[in-house]
Amino acid sequence: MKNLSPESLMMSYGFKPSLSEGAIKPPIFQTSTFVFERAEDGKAFFEQAYGLREKNEGEELGLIYSRLNNPDLEILENRLTLWDQAEDAAVFESGMGAITTALMQFLSPGDLLLHSNPIYGGTDHFVKHVLPRFGVNVMGFDPNQTQEEIETMVKESGHPLKMIYVETPANPTNHLVDLEMCRSIAENFTTDERPLIAVDNTYMGPIWQHPLKHGADLVLYSATKYIGGHSDVIAGACLGSKALIAQIKEMRTFLGNMAGPWTGWLLLRSLETLKIRMEKQADNAAHVYEAIKAHPKVKTIHYLGALKEGTKQKEIFDRQFSSGGAMLSIILNGGEKESFQFLNNLKLIKLAVSLGSTESLAQHPASMTHAGVDPDERLRYGITDGLVRLSVGVENPKDLIWDIEQALEQVTIDSKNESKPSLEPEMA
């Protein structure tokens, strides 16, 4: 058959109705264990699951126990690979489950983990406070640091670089990291093995950025966000080569943080509308940006659809991304008081953390998602008290603009509260 697009395959790929009484949709396989036809089958499945022997030609891993595999997860994993053109995928009960499992699988005491800054608050905590307890050395690089500066830092640390962990765009500043630069760093520090590159693609994936094409080895998702897309499920995923995902699934088996069948089923349903939801959200975000960019109470907006031509950030954007996305970080002329006035007066847009959902959500990173990040670091990355993060949903854009404008009307600017100056990425 013709090479079909992922959106055309999301309703059928990897599922045989004849195995499920002709049902057009995969049933929820709400079962903990699976019956072996013969003892020999059970033995063969376990030999494979525990890697005791090589697979025979055409042999597939049979179903054993839902901590190891389950049809809803297998179908979901197969479908998820299509967007990123990955060989394999593993799904988890949360994005943090995916991220921590990948880090634990590939890092050992003494290794160096290099990561971009800023990173998601949960990841930030795990990397800075948990990994060091297991002897892993951790080093962050800041936006705008050059490859040469980063390589000097890594050399001076004296530790062997094992993994580079990147979030691009950064949350909530929308600062972009150049993945080809990361690949080049990894190659320059290759000894026996090349350091692995893992990218948290939650903000722009799986439609608008495909990190594997730019030299990454692993792509990580909080599937709670765009992939789930309806604010009703927590889940995560990790994608990459068959060899790497096999290692991650091995760790997942022992940590026991795989997604359950119901989560798998919900995500299968969500994937059918993923592309049209994301396209509508991006289109709405562009409308909202145009309507409010010149508003007198708005100082600036970090929006990837409006990067300045000729800047390094725009060059990275053109290479790595195919859309401006649906995340706007609005910097108000003011501080926490003004941000709270704005948030408290929104009528349609919900005041909640999370993103990528059908409904628009707004929150205040400095006091909410990034409250745990060191205050000096927050300012260094531009997470000021005047920054409000908006995830644009699928509503009618006119209603969203009406809501934002009426809430901005309620903001009373007090000049003493101006956002502190910060390292501002090259944003419009």
Ligand X SMILES: *Cc1c(COP(=O)(O)O)cnc(C)c1O
Q: Does residue 96 bind ligand X (CB under 6 A)?
A: yes
Q: Is 34 left (phi over 0), alpha (psi -120 to 50) or beta?
A: beta
Binding mask of the shown chain, residues 346 to 365, with x at each position contacting ligand X by CB under 6 A? --------------------
Pick from 24, 18, 28, 3: which is nearest to 267 by CA?
28
Q: Does residue 317 bind ligand X (CB under 6 A)?
A: no
User: Which contiguous run of DSSP H or E holds residue 301?
Assistant: strand 298-302
Q: Does residue 130 bind ligand X (CB under 6 A)?
A: no
| Residue closest to ligand X (Cβ) | 95
Comparison of 297 and 378: residue with beta carbon closer to ligand X: 378
Comparison of 114 and 408: residue with beta carbon closer to ligand X: 114
> CB 72 → ligand X: shortest distance, Å?
18
The token pair that represents 196 in the structure block? 């692995």
Stretch that binds ligand X, among 94-102, 185-193, 292-300, 381-389 (CB under 6 A): 94-102
Site for ligand X in 185-204 (CB under 6 A): 200, 202-203
Binding residue for ligand X (CB under 6 A) from 174, 222, 281, 300?
Answer: 222
Comparison of 269 and 295: residue with beta carbon closer to ligand X: 269
Q: Does residue 93 bind ligand X (CB under 6 A)?
A: no
Contact between 290 and 301 under an 8 Å Cβ cutoff? The reply is no
Stretch that binds ligand X, among 47-55, 186-194, 217-225, 399-407 (CB under 6 A): 217-225
Pick from 280, 402, 398, 413: which is nearest to 335 by CA?
413
**40: Cβ–Cβ under 8 A, 6 or more apart, which residues?**
none
Q: Which residues does residue 330 pair with via DSSP β-bridges, in sequence order?
A: 301, 388
CA dihedral 254, 28, 30, 67 (to 10 degrees): -10
Comparison of 261 and 335: residue with beta carbon closer to ligand X: 261
β-strands 361-363, 327-332: how paired?
unpaired
Q: Which residues does residue 329 pair with via DSSP β-bridges, in sequence order?
A: 302, 389
Q: Say how far apart CA 293 and CA 303 lie, in whole Å.
A: 10
Q: Say how far apart CA 172 and CA 370 lie, in whole Å.
A: 9
* First CA to last CA distance, the chain: 45
> CB 225 → ligand X: shortest distance, Å?
6
| Residues near ligand X (CB under 6 A), total | 16
Q: Does residue 234 bind ligand X (CB under 6 A)?
A: yes
Neighbours of 343 (CB within 10 A): 19
Helices 95-106, 242-255: crossing angle, 10 deg rounding: 110
Contact between 256 and 68 under an 8 Å Cβ cutoff? The reply is no
The token pair that represents 399 in the structure block? 């209603």
Stretch that binds ligand X, among 62-70, 218-226, 237-245, 258-266 (CB under 6 A): 218-226
Q: Does residue 389 bind ligand X (CB under 6 A)?
A: no
> CB 354 → ligand X: shortest distance, Å?
7
Binding residue for ligand X (CB under 6 A) from 45, 83, 120, 289?
Answer: 120
> CB 369 → ligand X: shortest distance, Å?
8
Q: Say how far apart CA 165 and CA 218 lie, in whole Å.
A: 9
> CB 17 → ligand X: shortest distance, Å?
31
Neighbours of 210 (CB within 10 A): 22
Q: Does residue 95 bind ligand X (CB under 6 A)?
A: yes
Comparison of 94 and 341: residue with beta carbon closer to ligand X: 94
Binding mask of the shown chain, residues 164 to 183, with x at each position contacting ligand X by CB under 6 A? ---x---x------------
Binding residue for ligand X (CB under 6 A) from 14, 122, 160, 215?
Answer: 122
Stretch that binds ligand X, among 28-36, 83-91, 117-125, 413-421 (CB under 6 A): 117-125
Stretch that binds ligand X, among 47-55, 64-72, 118-126, 145-153 (CB under 6 A): 118-126
- Strand segments, DSSP code E, in 303-401 are 327-332, 350-351, 361-363, 387-391
Q: List contacts with ligand X (CB under 6 A).
A: 94-96, 120, 122-123, 167, 171, 200, 202-203, 222, 224-225, 234, 236
